[in-house]
Amino acid sequence: MAYHEISNMDAWDIIRRWHDRQTTSHIARALGYDRKTVRSYTRLASVSGLSPEEPLPPRDEVLALLDRCARAKPRASTAQALLVPHLERIRQLINDRDLALTPKSAFMVLCLEHDLGGKVSYTSFKRFVRTHALDLHPDRVTCRIEVGPGEEAQIDYCLVTTMLDPAEGRRRRLYAFIGTLSHSRLKYVELTFRQDQVSFACSHIRMFEHFSGVPRRLVIDNLKSGVITPDLYDPKLNRTYADVAEYFGTFIDPARVVHPKDKGKVERDTRTVRDAARRIMVLNPGAPLGELNRLIMHWSLHEYGQRLHGTTREKPFVVFTERERPALLPLPAKPFEVAQWKQATVHPDCHIQFKGRTYPISYAYVGKTVWIRATEHILQAFYQDRLIRQHAIGRSHRDTDPDVYPPDMRAVLDKNGTHRSLLSRAEAIGPHFHGMIRRLLEIHAFMNLRSAMGLTDLAERSEGQLVERAARIMSDHHIKPIPKNLRAVLDKLRAEALQRPLPFSEASGEFLRDSTYFIHDPKGPS
């Protein structure tokens, strides 16, 4: 029973009933006090010399007698006295800027650090916190709506803290994905640095696998990873998330905007999970993300799941095992392949862009917006929910197809067209120059057509071997293939050729003479 002060009238009523030989239980029920409280007053009355066998003195005299005896009785060391030496540590745990804990978690950490388990109750700790550290949130009136087993799961994210991400070498926000089963209150928790659509979908899939089943309805917040356009009657769902729900046979029920109580069960869990995650990080400094996820999952199953829930008065894991797991929808036989959806506009060059790469789309859709569905290996383009193009995702920066262009442009690419003619002329010059022209036209056959024509004309007017050397140098050093650069390389190669000594044969060497041979000595024979 919660602690509250007993007035003088109530204390006098306890003594009167005790003097009337009423039992301790009867007095406690009649006055609404705990039996231990009643016993403490009746014991104090006996120590003060009062007895049911003798007449009871007047009220003021009895109360004064009880007060003198209570003051004279030595008080044992209280829980408050045990907590006083740890006041600064409690303030640090509760008011820390990055890892602030709730009083409940701070109490658990303090018990582990200073062996206070069994010596201080949480009620005493809360009283100490109110007095010295901070006040607790006041109670609020609410209405709890219960659902049947397997009917609903509520989804939310909460910000835990900032943490160093080894993959990117910088501090990033660490979030907790929380999925709470509304009937049993058992929760799935996953710590992550991301909230994008793929991460959101993958967290749901891992949650279904963790529960070994799928709830019939998902109540989510209006974050962009799940809901693109919030609306009370016709919300627009993210395509990736909608694919997950359809594949697993569940339904999505977005909460109303700025109405967190629509998913109150998981909303209440955000503070509990944040506090548990911070407590784990305090007790395991420097632990990597994978280890933190393992510890938070152990906490969810074996600590939170095995405690009596404050509302249901049942253990969440026991309720889940006995009633909720059999009621969940079964998992599909085949694993789900997560796909990313994105809108893209078809450019005038009949291509779309996705993750830095370009893919061809028919000229009929130029200027129109299409939906891209991309898995790990396949990219599909949809227009008005109709598949119009499919590509294999490779390593090439740009993929092109002559068939996507209008008929007049495709005619240029025929065997008698300009591009074919250029490639044939380049092949006649040499393999290195032919490869350079072919690669240039693969990037964009029409935008680079003039450059290819200029290069070919310049090469045909120059020495073939010199052009081949220049083409190889430009390819090896990634020099942009334009006529200006080819001319510069050719001029440099010609200049180097002029500076080299002329080659001569062994027969020519017989005519070589030392320089002294050509010097006339006046003292010599005439």
Confidence band, pLDDT 50/70/90 cuts, at residue 230: low
Q: Which pLDDT belongs to residue 3? A: 47
Sequence-ordered list of residues with C-beta below 8 angstroms from that of 177, at least 6 positions apart, any chain: 155, 157, 188, 189, 190, 191, 192, 200, 203, 207
Distance of CA 251 to the CA centre of its chain: 23
Q: Which pLDDT belongs to residue 524? A: 57
User: 153-327: which CATH topology?
Assistant: Nucleotidyltransferase; domain 5 (3.30.420)
Q: Per DSSP, what are the bridge partners of residue 387?
A: 382
Can you read off the two tokens belonging to residue 102? 């709730």
Distances (CA, A) of 133 to 7, 92, 102, 104, 116: 28, 10, 11, 13, 18
Element of type H or E holding 128: helix 122-132
Give buried/exposed letters for 47-76 (b at 16+ CB in 10 A, else e).
ebebeeeeebeeeeebbebbeebeeeeeee
d(CA 103, CA 470): 76
Mean pLDDT of 306-333: 92
Q: 460-478: per-residue pLDDT in tens?
A: 988 888 899 899 999 888 8
Q: 405-438: per-residue pLDDT in tens?
A: 887 666 655 544 677 778 888 888 899 898 898 8
Q: Per DSSP, what are the bridge partners of residue 358?
A: 353, 398
Distances (CA, A) of 494 to 179, 455, 475, 486: 73, 18, 19, 12
Beta pairing class for 236-237 and 227-229: antiparallel
What mean pLDDT is reported for the chain? 83
Give which of 238, 237, 218, 243 is closest to 332, Cα–Cα: 243
d(CA 149, CA 202): 24
d(CA 328, CA 249): 11
Sequence-ordered list of residues with C-beta below 8 angstroms from that of 445, at least 6 positions apart, any chain: 400, 402, 412, 413, 419
Let me know if 525 is exposed, middle or buried by CB neighbors in 10 A (0-12, 13-18, 19+): exposed
Max distance between CA atoms of the chain, in angstroms, equals 171
Higher pLDDT, 140 or 130: 130
Contact 360, 351 (CB under 8 A): yes
Token pair 């010295």 is at which residue? 132
pLDDT at 502 over 70: no
Within 10 angstroms of residue 516's Cβ, the number of other Cβ atoms is 7
pLDDT at 525 over 70: no
Say how many Å lie between the first and final Cα of the chain, rounded: 143
Within 10 angstroms of residue 271's Cβ, the number of other Cβ atoms is 14
Mean pLDDT of 375-394: 88
Q: Which amino acid is at 440?
A: L
Give buried/exposed letters for 149-171 (b at 16+ CB in 10 A, else e).
bbbbbbbbbbebbebeeeeeeee
Q: Which pLDDT belongs to residue 78? A: 73
Lowest mean pLDDT among 50-64, 271-285, 306-320, 360-374: 50-64
Q: 43-75: per-residue pLDDT in tens?
A: 888 887 888 888 888 888 888 877 777 666 555
Q: Which pLDDT belongs to residue 415? A: 46
Q: Which pLDDT belongs to residue 522? A: 62
What is the DSSP secondary-structure string of 67-81? HHHHHHSPPPPPHHH
Contact 393, 433 (CB under 8 A): no
Higher pLDDT, 245 or 96: 245
Q: Which pLDDT belongs to residue 74? A: 52
Can you read off the two tokens belonging to residue 343? 């809108």
Lowest mean pLDDT among 1-15, 299-313, 376-390, 453-467: 1-15
Q: Which pLDDT belongs to residue 233? A: 46
d(CA 343, CA 370): 6
Sequence-ordered list of residues with C-beta below 8 angstroms from that of 251, at least 6 positions apart, any chain: 216, 217, 218, 245
**Domain at 340-405, CATH class:** mainly beta
Percent of the chain's residues with pLDDT above 90: 28
Confidence band, pLDDT 50/70/90 cuts, at residue 331: very high
